[in-house]
Amino acid sequence: MPSRTDARPRDDAPPTPLELALERVGDRWSLLLVEALLDGPRRFNELAEAVGGIAPNILTDRLRRLEREGVVLARPYSDRPPRMEYALTAAGRDLAGALRLLADWGARRSEDTEPLRHSLCGTPLEARWYCPTCTVLVEDPAATEARLV
């Protein structure tokens, strides 16, 4: 089986869009923090409670990294002692769709979790790629043939 480093054809090849995204938010704790912030701003202790099992030093590290990446905004709510409230930036809120897709993928492969459902009729939802210019649904093979935007 090829290693992760064998996946890229050349060392000088530019990183793929997925590699770039994973460099910014590609670990478990970062994604769970983004999910916890989708409902609105939270303070440090609220995030620690919402993301069960995260150690305080890891929480601090991930919040700082997400802030550097422009995903989270830290706003002071107390000067003495200095305390922050954390909220998603527009870029952070843009991750909501990707998180829903990932959560749905996980739910469909678990007997313990239900997939996302339509609130009116209860049918499991399906994600589709749509081209607003052509007004057509795009199947996976057509979406991967070209990466030009």
User: Where do the structural domains in the chain lie, given as residue ranges?
Assistant: 14-118+125-145
Averaged pLDDT, groups of 10, the chain, 149 residues long: 51 86 90 95 97 96 96 94 95 91 85 86 86 87 53
Query: DSSP state, 15?
Result: P
Contacts of 93 (CB under 8 A, 6+ apart): 38
- pTM metric for this prediction: 0.75
pLDDT reported for residue 29:
96
pLDDT reported for residue 1:
45
Confirm if 88 and 71 have CB atoms less than 8 A apart: yes
Three-class SS state of 42: strand
* Domain 14-118+125-145 top-level CATH class: mainly alpha
CA dihedral 51, 35, 88, 19 (to 10 degrees): 110
pLDDT reported for residue 146:
47
